[in-house]
């Protein structure tokens, strides 16, 4: 694996923020590519696989799209707004391409998969369209596009996991990294486009995951996040050792790489997270006490329409079980406001579960109908926009209060913090996360800490998003 230098953290990635790689070694390649990623962590992780494939073809990454021979957008389809953002960005690239006709523009990821060759009709400047399972064919597609043909490959696969490809870490802080452990999703939540854009679920060879974690650790990384749309259904048969590797087993194996290597994972599905996973988390100090457990809705009736396959009671019981086995576990959620047929009482039910779960943090959205999904085919998107927005605001406001309460409870506590870099505000302060995934900033003082070190920090104060503390020895 090769690093392309330094210091951007991943904290805003789930909000769909784009990023471009920064390359210090770009001049050693004869061609340059520029990539922007939108959407979830899986997409960011895929961009690192794409960077690796392109590098072997003689493309170096650049942060400056104006000097790029190839501009790539790794896109997201999860909500309409995500697609609009990409469309807007493409119009900006059109102007650049007019001045530089040889530059190729490629669209990757979920929007490429959803729209397929329609993309080429709708967006004339796009030369290449590649779906999430077809990145290995990029070199051929680029070659084709260089001759002036438009090229498309959106074939989904039942096997592809890119297991053997060593990701080129883009915009890495050198401390934290993602590892994809599976691809696709079999769940068919009715609102969700992911099963259509990413195909069937498949798990990656456990050995290749552990080797990647070991390699990262050997190169100074201190935290890995295991990624999948539904990590609890990870399942891989190790034929050589006659072993069935479940997600709990995989977590354990990665934790055993080193007690100094933190392990996180995302995303857990409330129907699938097992006691075995919770006990494994409790057993290993370096498996972080943090679970992202998307609720979506607190109403059993709406959950049923969403095809989430759990009830409100089941969800509550899961949260209780987590708190029983891992008392100091951080829990966060995803919530959708205004799903089809949602009534005021359903919305109240959502607020109720948010309260009882006492989430530290949530990602909150209003429902956006996605073409082709079960919900789009079966139900009317019947909640007026102003009601969706009002309910979303109530959800956001409540989460604000819950986050405040959660942070307030941390005042006076001491946490082990993995230092990720300078704080946003000042070079005299470090920032890092505790096991519960909360960001903590603290003055560097006269201590000789470096990025990638662990420090014990006592919390003295807080804002809604950050804890503020002091080193304790
Ligand atoms: N696999 C993950 C989620 C992936 S998508 C899981 O199952 O939790 C991330 C989040 O986007 C979802 O949890 C959901 O809250 C939100 N989302 C998905 N489709 C949406 C839609 N059509 N409208 C609004 N939000 C949506
Ligand atoms: Fe979408 Fe549901 Fe799969 Fe998550 S579990 S990716 S929400 S279908
Ligand atoms: Fe978006 Fe695809 Fe991820 S739709 S959220 S980039 S799996």
- For 4-153, which CATH superfamily applies? Methylthiotransferase, N-terminal domain (3.40.50.12160)
pLDDT lower than 70: segments of the chain: 1-28
Largest CA distance in the chain: 64
Q: What is the pLDDT of residue 27?
A: 59
CA of 14 to the centre of ligand 3 (A): 10
Residue from 73, 110, 132, 133 to probe ligand 3 pocket by mutation (most atoms less than 8 Å from CB): 110
**Which three-class secondary structure state does DSSP give residue 426?**
coil
Please give the CATH architecture assigned to the domain spanning 414-471. Beta Barrel (2.40)
For the chain, the structural domain boundaries read: 4-153, 176-406, 414-471
Mutate to test the pocket of ligand 1, among 84, 189, 309, 334 (most ligand atoms within 8 A of CB): 334
Concatenated DSSP letters of 101-170: TT-EEEEEHHHHHHHTTHHHHH-TT--EEE-TT-GGGHHHHHHHHHTT--EEE----SS---TT--PPBP
Q: Is 441 in the pocket of ligand 3 (CB under 6 A)?
A: no
Distance CA 368, CA 345 (A): 21
Instruction: Give the per-residue pLDDT at 20.
Output: 46
Is 52 in contact with 169 (CB distance < 8 Å)? no
Closest Cα to atom 7 of ligand 3: 194
Cβ(76) to ligand 3 under 6 A? yes
**Secondary structure (3-state) at 182:** strand
54 CB less than 6 Å from ligand 3? no
How many angstroms does the Cα of residue 225 sit away from the middle of ligand 3? Answer: 17
How far CA 104 is from CA of 148, 219, 272, 345, in Å, comes to 10, 34, 43, 51
Q: Name the nearest CA neighbour of 401 among 460, 361, 435, 437.
A: 361
Q: Residue 199 and residue 219: Cα distance in Å, rounded?
A: 33
The ligand placed nearest to the CA atom of residue 296 is 1
**119 vs 44, 153, 168, 462, CA distance in Å?**
21, 12, 28, 46
The best mutation among 78, 84, 309 to test binding of ligand 1, ranked by most ligand atoms within 8 Å of the C-beta, falls on 78
Q: What is the CATH number of domain 176-406?
A: 3.80.30.20
Please give the Cα distance from 353 to 83 (Å, whole number): 31
pLDDT score of 124? 87
**Ligand 3 in contact with 74 (CB < 6 A)?**
no
Degrees, nearest 5: CA angle 39-42-48: 105
Sequence-ordered strand ranges (E) for 393-453: 414-422, 429-433, 439-443
Work out which ligand 2 atom sits closest to the CA atom of 269: 5
Give the span between the Cα atoms of 202 and 398, in whole angstroms: 37
Which one of the ligands is nearest to 195 CA? 2
Distance CA 341, CA 380 (A): 8
């Amino acid at each position: 694996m090769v690093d392309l230098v330094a210091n951007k953290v991943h904290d805003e990635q789930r909000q769909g923020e784009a990023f471009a790689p920064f390359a210090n070694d770009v001049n050693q390649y004869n061609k340059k590519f520029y990539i922007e990623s939108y959407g979830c962590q899986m997409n960011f992780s895929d961009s690192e696989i794409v960077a690796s494939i392109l590098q072997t073809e003689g493309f170096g990454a650049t942060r400056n799209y104006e000097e790029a021979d190839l501009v790539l957008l790794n896109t997201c389809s999860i909500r309409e707004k995500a697609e609009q953002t990409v469309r807007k960005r493409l119009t900006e690239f059109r102007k650049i391409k007019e001045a530089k006709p040889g530059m190729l523009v490629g669209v990757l990821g979920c929007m490429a998969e959803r729209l397929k060759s329609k993309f080429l009709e709708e967006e004339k400047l796009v030369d290449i369209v590649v779906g999430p399972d077809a990145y290995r064919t990029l070199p051929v597609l680029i070659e084709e596009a260089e001759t002036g043909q438009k090229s498309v490959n959106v074939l989904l696969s039942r096997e592809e996991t890119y297991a053997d490809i060593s990701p080129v870490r883009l915009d890495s802080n050198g401390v934290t990294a993602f590892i994809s452990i599976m691809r696709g999703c079999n769940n068919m939540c009715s609102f969700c486009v992911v099963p259509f854009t990413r195909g069937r679920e498949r798990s990656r060879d456990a050995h290749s995951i552990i080797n990647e974690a070991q390699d990262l650790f050997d190169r100074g990384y201190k935290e890995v996040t295991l990624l999948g749309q539904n990590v609890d259904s990870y399942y891989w048969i190790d034929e050589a050792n006659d072993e069935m590797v479940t997600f709990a087993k995989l977590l354990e194996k990665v934790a055993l790489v080193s007690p100094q290597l933190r392990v996180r994972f995302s995303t857990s599905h409330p129907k699938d997270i097992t006691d075995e996973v919770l006990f494994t988390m409790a057993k290993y100090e370096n498996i972080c006490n943090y679970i992202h457990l998307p609720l979506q809705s607190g109403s059993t009736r709406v959950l049923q329409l969403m095809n989430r396959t759990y009830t409100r009671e089941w969800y509550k019981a899961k949260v209780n079980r987590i708190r029983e086995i891992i008392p100091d576990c951080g829990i966060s959620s995803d919530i959708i406001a205004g799903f089809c047929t949602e009534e005021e009482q359903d919305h109240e039910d959502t607020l109720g579960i948010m309260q009882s779960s006492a989430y530290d943090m949530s990602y909150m959205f209003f429902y956006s109908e996605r073409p082709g999904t079960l919900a789009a085919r079966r139900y009317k998107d019947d909640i007026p926009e102003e009601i969706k927005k009002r309910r979303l605001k109530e959800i956001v406001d409540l989460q604000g209060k819950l986050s405040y309460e959660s942070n307030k409870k941390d005042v006076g506590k001491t946490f082990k913090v993995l230092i990720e870099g300078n704080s946003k505000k000042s070079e005299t302060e470090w920032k890092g996360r505790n096991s519960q995934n909360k960001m903590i900033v603290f003055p560097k003082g006269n201590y000789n800490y470096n990025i990638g070190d662990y420090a014990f920090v006592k919390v003295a104060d807080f804002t809604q998003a950050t804890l503020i503390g002091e080193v304790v020895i």
